[in-house]
Amino acid sequence: MRTTDRKTRFSPIAQKIAIYAILVLYAVIIIFPFSIVVSTAFKDWKSAASAEFQWISQNGITMEGFNEVFLYKANPSAALPTLVKAFFNTLFYILPPTIMGLLTSSMAAYAFAKLRFRAKNFMYAALLATMMIPGTITIASQFSIYDTLGWVDTPLPLMIPGMFGAAACVFFMRQFFTGIPDSIIEAAKLDGVSYVGIFFEIMVPLSVPALIAQGLLGFIGGYNDYFNPLIYLQSSDNYNLQVALKTYASVYEKKQNFVMAGTLVALLPTLIIYFIAQDFFIEGIAASGIKG
């Protein structure tokens, strides 16, 4: 009996040790390549190009890679450095569709979760079915339409579609709204609150963590988008950060410290945003999973 009790007593401890060991190993696998990026960014270009890898160059830590990031201009007559201009372009391209898309997706999710209307289940199933279609299938037809409209080499193809929401966001928010008791909505109806008022006065305040989580996902998805801007943006003045960074990497192909410095600078905004809003992000994801 004593042997059995000891096994039962130490089993949870062994499980926790195993779990933490796996998590630490996974963290090391993720962090190790990132640490190489950081190390290379602070080297001089000769040390970065050396076949013998060193965490710190013989000349010590240098900022020459970061200096070049804020000096490089693909167009010499441009007022701002290329990557700085591309960063502001990126914010301009993704903030409106992120905000408007979050609003339209949330309103659609509210309708699917709490309102009663004909063919609701069919419409929701059709919406989810669009998630099964790879985006690359529609690229040719989309480009043809945008070219006919004169939208190519403008921000409009990157902004307008996103303002109408996303199926994944509708699904996520519907899961969250479903967990909100119907009694709250019925009480609001008795007080004479309209459906629009219920959405803005009740549903939105109760779903702030979920909205922030979806907003973060939308922002990061747009911030890291490379394929669509590569297709629709043709002039360097219109490049977003990812396309500009690729151009920058092509120019400094043999100077890896410049490339890694640019990569690190491009990565910092998303890291800062995540660290600031990580509590809301985790709470929103967890609450949706539980209530769904």
- What would the pLDDT profile of 249-269 be if each residue is shown by its tens digit? 888 777 777 888 888 888 888
> How buried is 162 (Cβ within 10 angstroms: 0-12 exposed, 13-18 middle, 19+ buried)?
buried
- What would the pLDDT profile of 194-248 be if each residue is shown by its tens digit? 888 888 988 888 888 888 888 888 898 899 889 889 999 888 888 898 998 888 8
State the pLDDT at residue 114. Answer: 87
Residue 274 has pLDDT above 70, yes or no: yes
State the pLDDT at residue 36. Answer: 82
- Return the domain boundaries, the chain: 2-66, 73-291
State the pLDDT at residue 137. Answer: 84
The residue-averaged pLDDT of 67-71 equals 82
User: Residues of 181-217 as b/e, b for ≥16 C-beta within 10 angstroms?
Assistant: eeeebeebeeeebeeeebbeebbeeebebbbbbbbbb
CA geometry: angle 181, 99, 106, nearest 5 deg: 25
Which CATH number among 3.30.470.10, 1.10.3720.10, 1.10.730.10, 1.10.357.10 corresponds to the domain 73-291? 1.10.3720.10
Residue 101 has pLDDT above 90, yes or no: yes
Residue 290 has pLDDT above 50, yes or no: no
The residue-averaged pLDDT of 58-75 equals 78
Q: Which amino acid is at 244?
A: A
State the pLDDT at residue 103. Answer: 93
Residue 147 has pLDDT above 60, yes or no: yes
Structure tokens at 102: 């979050």
Residue with tokens 């199933």: 125
> How buried is 20 (Cβ within 10 angstroms: 0-12 exposed, 13-18 middle, 19+ buried)?
exposed
Residue 286 — very low, low, confident or very high, per pLDDT cuts 50/70/90? low
State the pLDDT at residue 288. Answer: 52
Cα separation values, 287 from 9, 85, 168, 206, 238, Å: 32, 38, 16, 11, 39
